Structure 1
Amino acid sequence: MAKAHEKSIRELGGFLQKLHNPPAGTENYSIKLGFTDKGKGVVLTTDQTAPDVEFMWVYQIEASGDDFTALLGDRPEYIHNIKQGDRVEFKRSDIFDWLYVENGKIKGNYTACPLLLAGPKEQLEQYREVYGIVCD
């Protein structure tokens, strides 16, 4: 997972350029963030080994420099201080992974690959064919 995260960060600049000026045929820009409960709120982390971290996707992203806001797209399973649809504020340094859809195929979402590679080969082939996900 660490290598997938590193790859997403290496290619983050290209994603952000497209997010700011989406080319024709692209849609569904999303960012994966790591959340943990803290007091009555949440904090963000990119540390996969942090206790009680839950990684979830945000969408409808608005950016101003390195500051972002977006809506939480997932329904939390373990985190209690945030709910699906809540607006989230974050910084570029909080981004764990990203994705967008280009002509029906997923670009990015590198952290899906370690999970797919650990599962049945048929599932990996299905994701490759249907979604265009390419795992190194």
Structure 2
Amino acid sequence: MKLAARTALAMLLAFAPASSAGAQTPGQGDDKVVSVAGDDPEMAAAIEQARAGLDDFLALADAPPSGTADFQLKVMVRDGDATEHFWVIPFHRTAAGFAGTLDNEPQTVHNVVAGQEIEFSRDDISDWGYMKNGRRVGSFTVCVLFKKMSKDDADYYRQNYGFGC
């Protein structure tokens, strides 16, 4: 299942900034779109928190400890004035930055498609996450999105996808 964020520019639980935003949670199945203001202070803080821990996350992803799996990045994609954030699973480092497979269906941008291999830089990364002993670690933007969706939907994602927030 996925959680996407969208903006007037857009955010998918995948996620996008600007006047409004939506979001998608990582996983398989149907996508859930949630609206979030592009200038939302909680979303901005979540992105900063993710970026502050990015080096530690990348070190873990390079040498995953026992009990960890499903390492993924959330990446910003721009198309003209539109912006959307997507989960990229799997991802790998390249000489110029990173590359990986877009895991979400675009809602706002039209220059990428789900399943496409994309290249991106560190500056495009807005979140990260992985599973550790059955619980999701990271996914800071998703935790903000839970506050914007119905309690039933948020509880469903928590119960079925290991989110602790």
Q: TM-score, normalised by structure 2?
A: 0.66
Deviation (angstroms), 1:64: 4.0
Alignment of 1:1-136 (within 5 A): 1-38=43-80, 51-64=81-94, 67-135=97-165
CA distance in 1, matches of 2:96, 2:142: 25
Structure 1 residues 56 and 79: alpha-carbon distance in aligned structure 2, compared to 1, 3 A threshold: same
- What is the distance in 1 between the residues matched to 2:146 and 2:99? 29
The structure-2 alpha-carbon separation of the partners of 1:66 and 1:133, relative to structure 1 and needing over 3 Å to count, comes to: farther
Using the aligned pairs only, state the percent identity. Answer: 34
Which SS does the other structure have where 2:106 is aligned? coil
Say whether the 8 Å CA contact 1:54–1:78 is kept in structure 2: yes
Find the aligned partners of 1:93 and 1:13 in 2 and give their Cα distance: 13
Cα distance in 2 for partners of 1:128, 1:73 equals: 20
Letter in 2 for 1:78: T
Q: Which deviations, in whole Å up to 9, do the C-alpha atoms of 1:74-126 show, x marking residues without a partner? A: 11122211111111111112110011111221111100112112333454445
Cα gap change, 1:67/1:134 in structure 2, threshold over 3 Å: closer, same or farther?
same
Rounded to whole Å, the distance in 2 between the matches of 1:80 and 1:107 is 30
1:71 partner amino acid: T
| Contact 1:36-1:79 at 8 Å conserved across structures | yes
Single out whichever of 92-101 and 59-68 deviates more from structure 2. 59-68
The SS at the match of 1:19 is helix
Name the CA shift for 1:65/1:81 in 2 (closer, same or farther; >3 Å). closer
Structure 2 runs not aligned, ≥5 long: 1-42
> 1:105, 1:130 within 8 Å by CA — same for their partners in 2?
no
Maintained 8 Å contact 2:77/2:109: yes
Q: Check whether the contact 2:92–2:99 (CA below 8 A) recurs between aligned residues.
A: yes
Q: Which amino acid aligns with 1:92?
A: R
- CA RMSD across the alignment: 2.0
